[in-house]
Amino acid sequence: MGPLVPDIVSNNLNYFVAFIIGILFGAILEQAGFSTSKKLVGLFYGYDFTVLRVFFTAGITAMVGVMGFSYFGLLDINLVYINPTFLWSAIVGGLIMGVGFIFGGFCPGTSICAAAIGKIDAMIFVAGSFLGVLIFAEGYPLFESLYKAANLGNPRMFETLNMTQNLFAAIMVIIALVAFYFTSIIEKKVNKEEVVFFRFNKQSILMTAFGVLLVVSSMVFTDGKAYLLRLVEDENFVKKYPVEEVDVDELAYLLTCVNCERLQIIDFRSEEEYKKFTLPKSTLFTLDNLFEKEPSSFLRIKNNRYVFVAKDEITERKMAIIATKLGLKRIRILRGGLEEFVKSIMNFDPVKDPKNIDEINMNRFRSQVKIELEKMIKENKPAGPVQKKQKRALGGC
Amino acid sequence: MNEEKYMNPYLAGVLLGLLLLLTIYITGRGLGASGAIKSFTVAAVESVAPFHTANTKFYQEYKNEHKESSPLKNWLVFEVIGVLIGAFLSGIYSNRLNFKLEKGPQSTTNKRIIAAFIGGMLWGIGAQLGRGCTSGAALSGMAVMSTGGILTMFAIFGGAYAVAYFFRKLWI
């Protein structure tokens, strides 16, 4: 599961990766024509919309790609850098940059490309941008209150607008496609070329097909977490869903058995409850852990068999359904939940005057296992919650 | 030899989008540019006036956020060095390598130099406030649907359109 840094790609190798990515970035920008200011500002005067096309095609491709990667479990979005939102600073900064765009004819990335192929205006622009940073640094006390005002954390636009990720993505993709179409007509009019509404050639058809693919993908790649949470809201569905169960006696047996299968109990209660009563071989988990890279890998250990426990069976079922849908295997739940387990095993009261062999056996087994378990629980130290070892990647400028 | 034509913008866009996706998949962060300019500036000031940087709030905050030994040991610095080389190689490949100052038909060289410098300066300031520029805030922000990134993107384009008419003599 991505991001590959720092597990698969080390932090030092990451600098080399940065270098390679930079080469490709620079080459693509240059090939697209971003190394000339006249082409870049064309967008604002209607004679050349290349920037809009490249920028928004890249934006929606990457956006839908990120959705697809998280949908297929390739990327843990919780570890990806989400640019923070400082409302006023973001807007004022953007406006200043916009004015700078008209004056300078570049943005920082494109100025570096243009300078690399010898554009003198770009070199002057780069020099100006160093001075700009210096002004900000030295005048920081002046900017600071604006810079840090209205810190909204790291929200994502669909959360801010209170819509589903899919709806927002689809809107963005459709806006981009509509903009591509109309700007191409504006561009032709400004340049006094013949306006053709659609050309039936291979290229146009291919581009249209890709556009349709992006629209469809933006609707298909649901935010896995939101979808699964909605799925388990329906109690009837949860009750009917086939989940493998173990009963209290079986669990008690498995816990005390030395040569049995490798058992791992995943406890979904609160930390407080967990500390009060901790089964041996158990680990505290939260719903969020199931979706996270590091904790969920704990549930993928080969040959381990897992029993999900919670206070009640319905919570166990919900968690087990989510885990199964996420592709985790060998998961069972405890019938009746821990409430039942505590009542029937830990607080077992032998049946007085057992009437048949079953009751005699039950008395014998439960009394014995209770003593054993009590001993194990005493010796066992609670493992505590799974620590999130990884932090979000740091990014931004 | 003539300069080669530019790539189809949609194809370039898809390639750039895939590169950004790959970057996020490998590193967990997006592309950027202005961050490197900031790192270079901090490094320069630090070497010229170490006492000053140690006692000024901006540089102290920068130090707190970037734990590396030097401001130049930074992901974006390596990336931007790559950008320089990549663009240079692409320029050789397409015969676009030459010293040239580009300006609008009605503009003069002096005007262009001054405007380019002011433009760069505004970007330097704006990208600090916006916590990124077109690459770091707008493009990468859009890829992860960050509210701040998308707002900054609209503000950049909005700001440019708002003043484009008044400075049209620079370009058309």
Does residue A390 carry a pLDDT above 80? no
What pLDDT score does B130 carry? 95
**pLDDT at residue A181 in the model:** 92
User: In angstroms, rounded to a whole number, what is the distance separating the alpha carbons of residues A306 and A289?
Assistant: 15
pTM of the predicted structure, to 2 decimals: 0.83
Contact across the interface for B14 and A106, Cβ inside 8 Å? no
Of A55-64, A153-162, A195-204, A385-394, which one has max mean pLDDT? A55-64
Beta pairing partners, A262: A304
What CA dihedral angle connects A313, A318, A320 and A323, to 10 degrees? Answer: -160
Decide: helix, strand or coil at residue B98. coil
Instruction: Among B100, B117, B140, give the residue marking a domain's end.
Output: B100
Backbone angles phi, psi at A151, to 5 degrees: -75, 110
Residues B16 and B47 in one domain: yes
Positive or negative, the CA dihedral B115, A118, B83, B142 is positive
Average pLDDT, chain A: 89
Residue A16 pLDDT class (50, 70, 90 cuts): very high
What distance in Å separates the CA atoms of residue A103 and residue A91, rounded to the nearest whole number? 19
Chain B positions touching A11 (Cβ under 8 A) are: none
Residue B158 domain boundaries: 101-172
> What are the structure tokens assigned to B155, written together?
């503000």
**Does residue B126 share a domain with residue B80?**
no
Q: Do B22 and B33 share a domain, yes or no? A: yes
| Chain A residues inside the 8 Å CB shell of B120 | 100, 104, 106, 111, 124-132
pLDDT score for A60: 97
**pLDDT tops 70 at residue B1:** no
Per-residue pLDDT reduced to its tens digit, A262-317: 888 999 998 888 888 888 888 888 888 888 877 788 888 877 889 999 999 999 99
Q: What is the SS3 assignment for B42?
A: helix
Q: Are residues B106 and B76 in the same domain?
A: no
The pLDDT of residue A389 is 54
- The reply to whether B82 and B113 lie within a common domain is no
Residue with tokens 């900054």: B152
How close A324 gets to chain B, by Cα (Å)? 24
Last residue of a domain, one of B80, B100, B120: B100
pLDDT given for residue A198 in this prediction: 78
Cβ contact, residue pair A128, B121, below 8 Å: yes
The reply to whether B85 and B108 lie within a common domain is no
pLDDT tens sequence across A166-176: 999 999 999 99
* Helix, strand and coil in chain B, % to nearest 5: 70, 0, 25
Looking at the complex, does the CB of residue A122 fall below 8 Å from at least one CB of chain B? Answer: yes
Average pLDDT over residues B141-162: 96
At residue A396, does pLDDT exceed 60? Answer: no
ipTM here = 0.96
Q: Which of these three, B42, B67, B100, is where a domain ends? A: B100
Number of domains in chain B: 2
Cβ distance of B82 and A23 shorter than 8 Å: yes
pLDDT at A47 over 90: yes
Topology, domain A235-379: Oxidized Rhodanese; domain 1 (3.40.250)
Regarding whether B133 and B76 lie in a shared domain, the answer is no
Identify the CA nearest to A395 among candidates B121, B146, B155.
B146
Domain check: are B121 and B157 in the same one?
Answer: yes
Q: What is the pLDDT of residue A395?
A: 66
How many cross-chain Cβ pairs, A to B, lie less than 8 Å apart?
Answer: 556
β-strand pairing of A304-309 with A262-267: parallel
**Higher-confidence position of A200 and B168:** B168
For residue A29, what is the nearest residue in chain B, using CA coordinates? B87
Kindly list the residues from chain A whose CB atom is less than 8 angstroms away from the CB atom of residue B161.
44, 98
Q: Which residues contact A124 (CB under 8 A, 6 or more apart)?
A: B113, B116, B117, B120
As annotated, the residues of chain A forming the CATH 3.40.250.10 domain(s) are 235-379
Residues B134 and B170 in one domain: yes
8 Å CB contact of B133 and A108? yes
- Which of B75, B103, B110 should we substitute to test contact with A (largest number of A Cβ atoms within 10 Å)? B75
Q: Is the pLDDT of residue A373 over 60?
A: yes
- Residue B148 pLDDT more than 70? yes
Residue of B nearest to A64 (CA): B143
Segment B6-23, tens digit of pLDDT: 999 999 999 999 999 999
- pLDDT for A381: 65
Q: Which amino acid is at B6?
A: Y
Which of A113, A106, A97 is closest to A25 using CA atoms? Answer: A113
Is residue A341 less than 8 Å (CB to CB) from chain B?
Answer: no
pLDDT tens-digit readout, B92-114: 999 999 999 999 999 999 999 99
Question: Greater confidence, B19 or A235?
Answer: B19
Answer whether residue A382 shows pLDDT above 60: no
Q: Shortest Cα distance from B82 to chain A (angstroms)?
A: 4
Which one is predicted more confidently, A301 or A130?
A130
B32 and B116 share one domain:
no
Token pair belonging to A375: 């001993």
Segment 150-189 of chain A within 8 Å of chain B by CB: 152, 154-160, 165, 168-169, 172, 180
Q: Would you say residue A255 has pLDDT above 90? A: no
Per residue in A56-71, pLDDT (tens digit) is 999 999 999 999 998 8
What is residue A116's predicted lDDT score, i.e. its pLDDT? 97
Contact B85 A120 (CB under 8 A): no
Q: What is the pLDDT of residue B66?
A: 85
